[in-house]
C-alpha cells in the first residue's frame, strides 16, 4: 500500500476474466481479502480488530437490505425511503421471544436503523442477536432524512476482522464496470490507511465468487 488505481483496475479486469473461464452460469460478485502481517497485527488485542462500516462510491448489487424499527412518522419515512422491512415497536418483544426469529432477522438484513424511542427495546430483546454480528441499529429521530440514510447504506460495507489478521468484504458485481469496482476497493484501502494499518498489509487479493484469487500489485 498504497495501490494505484490503475493497478487495482487491472487486477479487477484479470479477476473478471479468470472468473468467467469455467463458464459459470450465475452472476458473480467481487470480493477482496486484505491480509496483514501477523506479527504486526495481533488480533488477540481487541483494539487491533477492525469492525466498522465503510461508505464506498458505488452501490453494490443486489442492494443491501435495510430493516427499520419504529412507528408513526419514522415508519412512514422508512417505507418511503425503500427499507425492505419496517418492524412496529410492539412487535419487537414478540420477536425477541423466538430464537429462530431473531437469528433469521439478523441473517436476512444487512443493516438496521431505529427510531430513538425503540432503541431500548431493540437492545433488550434483539441486542444479543444483532450485537454479536455487529448489526446493532443506529438511532434516528422522526425528522431525520431517512431517504439519505437508506441510500448511504446501499453504498456501505462492513469491514470486520475476527481472530485472524485478515478481513473479506464484497466490493462489486459483474454488472458493474471494472473502474467502479476498483474505486470501491480503493475506498476500503483508504479506510485501512486511515486507521494507521497501511504498513501492516501483506497482500490484497481480489476474486469473483467462483474465480481464482488475483493479487493486487503495488
For 72-120, the pLDDT digits (tens) are: 999 999 999 999 999 999 999 999 888 899 999 999 999 999 999 999 9
CATH number for the domain spanning 20: value is 3.30.190.20
| Cell numbers representing residue 14 in the block | 484479470
Other CB atoms within 10 Å distance of the CB of residue 189: 20
Are both 166 and 148 inside the same structural domain?
no
Strands of the chain, DSSP E: 29-36, 51-55, 66-69, 85-87, 111-115, 138-140, 156-160, 166-173, 201-208, 214-215
When computed from its CA atoms, the radius of gyration of the chain, rounded to whole angstroms, is 19
Beta bridge partners of 31: 170, 207
Strand order in the sheet with 214-215: 166-173, 29-36, 201-208, 214-215
Residue 20, pLDDT score: 86
CA distance linking residue 177 with residue 115, whole number of Å: 36
* Higher pLDDT, residue 66 or 26: 66
The reply to whether 79 and 114 lie within a common domain is yes
Same-domain status, 76 and 148:
yes
Q: Final residue of a domain: which of 99, 132, 153?
A: 153
Count of domains observed in the chain? 2
CA distance readout (Å), 143 to 81, 104, 198: 13, 30, 39
Contact yes or no for 68/87 (Cβ under 8 A): yes
Looking at every residue in the chain, the average pLDDT score rounds to 93
- Are 70 and 114 members of one domain? yes
**Residue 137, domain extent:** 66-153
More confident residue, 134 or 167: 167
Which of 153, 176, 202 terminates a domain? The answer is 153
Place of cell 464484497: 170
Give residue-wise pLDDT tens across range 3-40: 788 999 999 999 999 988 877 778 899 999 999 999 99
Residue 210 Cα distances to 158, 161, 184, 207, angstroms: 22, 23, 20, 8
Q: Is the pLDDT of residue 2 over 70?
A: no
Residues 123 and 172 in one domain: no
- Residue 114 φ/ψ region, left for φ over 0, alpha for ψ in the -120 to 50 degree band, beta for the rest: beta
Residues linked to residue 33 through DSSP beta bridges, in sequence order: 168, 205
Q: Are 137 and 162 in the same domain?
A: no
Cell 431517512 maps to which residue? 146
Domain end: 106, 138, 153, which one?
153
The percentage of the chain sitting over the pLDDT mark of 70, rounded to a whole number, equals 99
Q: Do residue 99 and residue 82 come from a single domain?
A: yes
Domain CATH number, residue 119: 3.40.50.790
Same domain, yes or no, for 50 and 98? no
Amino acid at each position: 500500500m498504497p495501490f494505484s488505481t490503475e493497478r487495482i483496475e487491472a487486477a479487477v479486469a484479470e479477476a473478471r476474466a479468470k472468473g468467467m473461464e469455467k463458464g459459470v452460469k450465475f452472476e458473480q460478485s467481487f470480493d477482496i481479502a486484505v491480509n496483514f502481517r501477523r506479527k504486526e497485527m495481533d488480533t488477540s488485542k481487541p483494539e487491533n480488530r477492525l469492525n466498522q462500516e465503510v461508505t464506498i462510491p458505488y452501490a453494490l448489487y443486489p442492494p443491501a437490505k435495510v430493516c427499520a424499527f419504529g412507528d408513526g412518522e419514522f415508519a412512514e419515512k422508512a417505507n418511503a425511503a425503500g427499507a425492505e422491512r419496517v418492524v412496529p415497536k410492539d412487535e419487537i418483544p414478540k420477536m425477541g421471544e423466538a430464537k429462530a426469529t431473531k437469528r433469521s432477522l439478523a441473517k436476512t438484513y444487512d443493516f438496521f436503523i431505529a427510531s430513538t424511542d425503540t432503541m431500548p427495546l431493540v437492545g433488550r430483546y434483539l441486542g444479543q442477536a444483532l450485537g454479536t454480528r455487529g448489526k446493532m441499529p443506529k438511532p434516528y429521530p422522526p425528522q431525520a432524512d431517512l431517504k439519505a440514510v437508506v441510500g448511504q447504506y446501499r453504498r456501505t460495507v462492513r469491514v470486520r476482522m475476527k481472530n485472524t489478521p485478515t478481513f473479506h468484504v464484497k466490493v462489486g458485481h459483474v454488472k458493474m464496470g471494472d473502474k467502479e469496482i476498483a474505486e470501491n476497493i480503493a475506498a476500503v484501502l483508504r479506510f485501512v490507511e486511515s486507521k494507521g494499518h497501511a504498513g501492516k498489509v501483506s497482500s490484497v487479493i481480489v476474486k469473483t465468487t467462483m474465480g481464482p484469487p488475483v493479487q493486487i500489485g503495488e
